[in-house]
């Protein structure tokens, strides 16, 4: 069983992992601990072609300094040679006596590092703070497991579940703090999707903007789904990234094409019709629900028919986070284990 010092080190390693870029490769952090728990070195993966976290940490030590030490890593050390060599071999050659990691590597090519370390006489323990690591790598894990981008579906609603008033007005249900949070999350996505109904009704720019209105350096690719043409003067056509349009209701086909284009993180912000379609299709990996302390009543629900006929078939979720943003509440939810 992992010791308290190892669990504390794993928390630090997860923070180190967040320093690395989100992209094709997973964010990984590592610490090397002396037998008394003292941190000897730390490292993280800085992107494709750079040393992996374990090797980055080992590189900061003198030869032989890691002998008998414990390596704490957020992802199982890899067991293959790509642009860099196998981290499992690097740890063996450094003389590390114990390896603690959070998640098994799900990729057939890179997995197996734990077994290789055990075969080399190293004490190995996996699954330490696995839930925290899984939340950090949720989008990368989705791509590895399902072969499609990770999908976040966002909507804003009143306390009684309405996305708009009876006359269709919806700006603004939530306050400035919640809207700023949305824009920060947009900037972390590779693509943002809206439906043609939303584009025609609200004329959104689909950009990620700072509090002062300036654009974030990172901008998601704007994507519009629907049969109706996007008007020539629509705000989304002035987006700094090229607009992608899909005249189809086949969401899986859209995601497959986006994956071929290198997209890993999709942000769906297209109104109740599109949100309901992604949820009904079992394609929502994460829900961001912004709730304002207001009541509207009426028929304009934030989510429509998702194919649930009885309570027995409810789409069960687990709450990943609860945040207060000004007067509003953000619930981050993900499908419960075994739920489509």
CA 89 distance to own-chain centroid: 29
> Distance between the two ends of the chain, CA-based, in angstroms?
33
Q: Tell me which residues are annotated as active site.
A: 54
Cis previous bond, 172, omega within 30: yes
- Separation CA 246–CA 227 (nearest Å): 8
Under 8 Å between Cβ of 103 and 76: yes
Cα–Cα separations (whole angstroms), residue 170 to 164, 179, 209: 4, 13, 19
Residue with tokens 């009684």: 160
Residue with tokens 């607009």: 243
> What are the b/e assignments for 183-213, b being 16+ CB within 10 Å?
eebbbebbbbbbbbbbbeeeebbbbbbeeee
């Amino acid at each position: 069983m992992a010791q308290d010092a190892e669990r504390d080190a794993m928390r630090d390693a997860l923070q180190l992992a967040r320093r690395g870029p989100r992209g094709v490769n997973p964010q990984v952090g590592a610490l090397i601990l002396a037998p008394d728990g003292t941190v000897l070195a730390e490292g993280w993966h800085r992107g494709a072609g750079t040393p992996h976290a374990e090797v980055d940490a080992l590189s900061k030590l003198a030869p032989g300094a890691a002998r008998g030490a414990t390596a704490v890593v957020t992802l199982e050390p890899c067991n293959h040679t790509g642009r860099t060599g196998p981290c499992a071999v690097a740890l063996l050659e450094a003389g590390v006596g114990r390896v603690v990691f959070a998640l098994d590597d799900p990729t057939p090519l890179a997995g197996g590092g734990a077994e290789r370390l055990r075969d080399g006489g190293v004490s190995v323990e996996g699954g330490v703070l696995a839930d925290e690591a899984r939340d950090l790598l949720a989008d990368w894990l989705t791509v590895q497991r399902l072969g499609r981008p990770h999908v976040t579906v966002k909507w804003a609603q009143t306390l009684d579940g309405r996305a708009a008033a009876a006359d269709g007005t919806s700006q603004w249900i939530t306050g400035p703090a919640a809207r700023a949070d949305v824009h920060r999350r947009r900037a972390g996505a590779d693509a943002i999707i809206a439906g043609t109904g939303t584009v025609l009704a609200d004329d959104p720019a689909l950009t990620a903007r700072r509090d002062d209105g300036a654009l974030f350096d990172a901008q998601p690719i704007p994507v519009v789904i629907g049969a109706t043409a996007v008007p020539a003067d629509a705000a989304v056509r002035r987006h700094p990234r090229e607009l992608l349009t899909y005249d189809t209701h086949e969401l899986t086909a859209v995601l497959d094409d986006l994956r071929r284009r290198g997209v890993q993180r999709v942000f769906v912000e297209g109104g109740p019709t599109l949100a309901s379609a992604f949820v009904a299709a079992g394609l929502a990996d994460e829900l961001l629900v912004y709730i304002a302390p207001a009541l509207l009543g009426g028929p304009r629900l934030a989510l429509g028919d998702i194919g649930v006929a009885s309570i027995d078939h409810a789409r069960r979720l687990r709450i990943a986070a609860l945040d207060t943003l000004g007067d509003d509440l953000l619930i981050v939810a993900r499908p419960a284990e075994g739920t489509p």
